[in-house]
Structure formats: structure tokens, C-alpha cells
Chains A and B, each alone.
Chain A
Amino acid sequence: MVSRNLPLFITFCFFFFCSIQPLAAADFMRSIGKIYVVTGVMLVLLLGIAVFLLVLDRRLTQLENQIKSDE
């Protein structure tokens, strides 16, 4: 089976050995100066504003439908 697809096997080995390294999220974050914490914060903000807009959109749609049904 190995001889049938050596590149695939090598790729599999690569990912396997990568996955058993205990590269915790903390180490990764520290290695690039924790810039991704800022990305996380900005994502939270974007999601919060998006939820607000979604709720507003839904309520306005309800109003519009109500107006339409009243005509």
C-alpha cells in the first residue's frame, strides 16, 4: 500500500508527526507576539455588531410585512 502512493504516505507522516507535537495555542500565540488575540477581539466586535444588525433587519422586515398586509 505504501509503495502504491509514496507521496501520499509521506504527506500523511508529515501531518501525523505535526499533530503529536504539543504546540499549544499559547506557544503559537507567543511565537508571533500574540497578534491573533487582537484578531480575536476584532472578530468579537464584528460579530456583536452583526448580531445587532441582524436583529434590527428582522424586526424591520416584520414591520414592512405588517404594513404590506394592512394595505
Chain B
Amino acid sequence: MIAKGRLWKIAGVILLIYVILAGMLVPLKPGIEEVSPSSGKSGEMLHLEVTGYNVHFLQEASSLRAWLKWPDGRALRASGVQVLSDRQVRLDFSIPSQLPEGPEVQAVTLLVDHPSDGTAVLPTAIFLTQEEGGENLDTGVWEKPANFSKGPFFTFPYRNILAETVRNTYFHVPLWFGMMFLFLAAVIHSVRHLRSGGRHSDQKAVAYTLTGILFGVLGLLTGAVWAKHTWGAYWSWDIKQNMTAVALLIYVAYFILRASVDDPDRKGRVGAAYGIFAFSTLIPLLYVIPRLTDSLHPGSGGNPAFGSQDLDHTMRLVFYPAIIGWTLLGFWMASLWYRYLNLREKVEDFS
């Protein structure tokens, strides 16, 4: 059990202050919010209206460069760049009459490079169809995009659809880590209770389980708020959402089971045994089953946790302290509840 000292609690709070400040104040990289139209034909001039995010096109407008990039790396440079406002630009591309070797419809990535903002990328932005005939507009400049401008030094990545909500990574994801650590502490004390008995280990198991369930419920709620604006609905019956709800219901049953037993010694032992079982269900429910199917959740179809694609090195600098900070806060809350249970027991013995 964590000592009653205050240092680790203050450390948790300081970490969370850092996480809130850094998580909310660091700007995002420049991004491309909208492109219209989203398709084009070979042998045609393609005029794109592009809306950027976190960009300032009016500054150094003449140094703006843009490319359409094919998966194999070759790229077509924009022949015309017309800045309309700080966030809007019109790009002209002369699509060659003969597209590179490949399927009839090819998806290309749009890159927009600005000297002080940095480079904005929109993957599979435009779908180009190979058409018969068409003018021989081979006036397009093929060049490999290079000398990408570096924007402000410390930025979080811009992901389409997510945009600013990527900051939720520091507030939603650490809750799950915290929940796992809390449930782990609960199972350690459950095992201790079964082995050597005693009120304290039982009370600690209850406190950790309660706080763990709270973190899990908050995780589901914060996930629902995030999902509403990225997936379209608060609850999508996504496999990870479903399995997490099932796992939390199994943990809620822990309290129902305890309430059904009157004798305090049996209550503690039955509860501890069930708590160990409940922890063992977390592995298949949260980590195995969601990986077996495709899911809306990040890294779907194999890895519902965060992979290297979702988290870059700037985010890690805030993400890891966030896990520690939220976990420490959870342990502080659990320790408070344990102290309450301990006091309650003493008062009831006395009266």
C-alpha cells in the first residue's frame, strides 16, 4: 500500500498541471481541412479550392508550394498558386493525359508547404481517373517534394477529422491506464486477503475496485463525448466500447456479490475471489477480443491501442506524464476511500 505521505500526491497534481498546460497550449501542425473538388481526370487542368487549418497563407504567399503525391513517391507540382485568404488557396494542377502505371482510379496525397507554417498533408485527397484521349497537357512539373519547411518547433500532429480533439489523448487514454493500475492493486490486495485475512487488505481491495470502476466509467463517458464528434454518435456499439462496458459490469457485480453476503469474513473472502476472477476477464475483453475484428477505435483491425502511427514524439512528451499523473490521482482517491472505510470500521466497533 502506498505510504500516507503527501509527496507522491503533490507530484501527481504537478504532473497534471503540466499535462493540462502543455496539452492545451501547444499548437497543432498545419493541416488541410477541406479540398474541393475531390476528384479529377487525366489530361485536364485541376483547380482545387483548399482550406487549411492553423495556417497563415497571406504571409509569404509567394513561397507557397503544393504537390499531388503518388504512393510510389513521385509528385506533381502545382502550376498555379493563388492565395485567397489566410486559410484558403486555389491550386492549379495540369494532370497529364497519361497517369503513372497503376489502377484506373488513383488516390493521390495533397501536400501544401508554407515557409513559416510548415507542411500540411492530406492523404488520399484526390481521386484521379484515367480517361481516354484528353489534351496532352504534359506541362506539369514532376518533382520530388523536398526541402519541407519546418513549422514552429513544438507542435502536435494534425489528423484529419480529429483536429484539436487529438488533445483528448491526454485526458481519455490515461484513464484506462489508471484503471488497469487500480484494478491491479485491487487484485494484489485480494490475493493478500485470501492468504492472510484481515480487514485492511479487504478494505483496500474495495477502495481500489471502486476507484477503478470510476475511472472506467469516466473513460467510457469521455470516450463517448469524443466519439460523438469523430464517429458521429455517443455509442456506436463498437467492439471496444462494448467489451469495456461488459468488463465494468463484471466489476460492478463485485459489489452486488459482497452485498449479498452478511458475514464480514465471508464477505471479504468471497469478494476477493471474485475480484481476482474479474481482473482475469480484463485481458480477453479489453485486449484480445477488440484486436480480432475491425473497429472504429484507433489502430483498428489488429491493434486497438495506440501505435506509432497515432502518437508521435511530441505527443509522447505529454502523454507519458499524463499516464503517471492520472494514475497518481487515482491512487490518491483510492487511498482516501480506504481511509474512510477504515474509520467507519473503527467507529462501528466503538459504538
Contacts and interface: CB of A to CB of B under 8 A. Distances in A.
A26 B347 CA distance: 53
Contact of B333 (A45, A52, A66): A52
Contact of A37 (B168, B221, B350): B168
Given A41-B168, A44-B218, A56-B337, A29 B229 contact: yes
Interface residues of B, number: 36
B164 A33 contact: yes
Interface in B185-235: 211, 214, 217-218, 221-222, 225-226, 228-230
A37 B344 CA distance: 40
Nearest to A40: B225
Contact of B218 (A30, A32, A33, A45): A45
Contact of A45 (B222, B230, B344): B222
Nearest to B333: A52
B351 A66 contact: yes
B53 interface: yes
Contacts of A38: 24, 164-165, 167-168, 171
- B contacts with A: majority SS: helix
Contacts of A48: 214, 217-218, 221
B222 A34 contact: no
B225 A44 contact: yes
A64 to B, nearest CB: 9
B343 interface: yes
A59 B218 CA distance: 22
B222 A66 contact: no
A20 interface: no
A67 interface: yes
Contacts of B230: 37
Given A34-B164, A45-B218, A59-B340, A70 B350 contact: yes
A32 B54 CA distance: 10
B336 interface: yes
Q: How large is the interface on A (under 10, 10 to 19, 20 to 34, 35 or more residues)?
A: 20 to 34
B163 interface: yes
Contacts of B221: 44, 48
Nearest to B34: A30
Interface string A47-67: 011001000100110010011
B64 interface: no
B163 A63 contact: no
A35 interface: yes
Contacts of A26: 229
B172 interface: yes
Given A37-B226, A38-B164, A41-B171, A63 B344 contact: yes
Contact of A41 (B217, B222, B350): B222
A42 interface: yes
Interface in B221-254: 221-222, 225-226, 228-230
A59 B337 CA distance: 10
A54 B226 CA distance: 26
Interface in B1-50: 20, 24, 28, 33
Contacts of B229: 26, 29, 34, 37
The 8 residue pairs across chains A and B that have the minimum distance between CB atoms: A33-B164, A35-B164, A33-B163, A48-B218, A37-B165, A41-B222, A40-B225, A38-B167
Given A33-B28, A37-B225, A70-B351, 14 more contacts: A26-B229, A30-B163, A34-B164, A37-B226, A38-B167, A38-B171, A41-B171, A44-B218, A45-B171, A49-B333, A56-B336, A56-B340, A60-B340, A66-B347
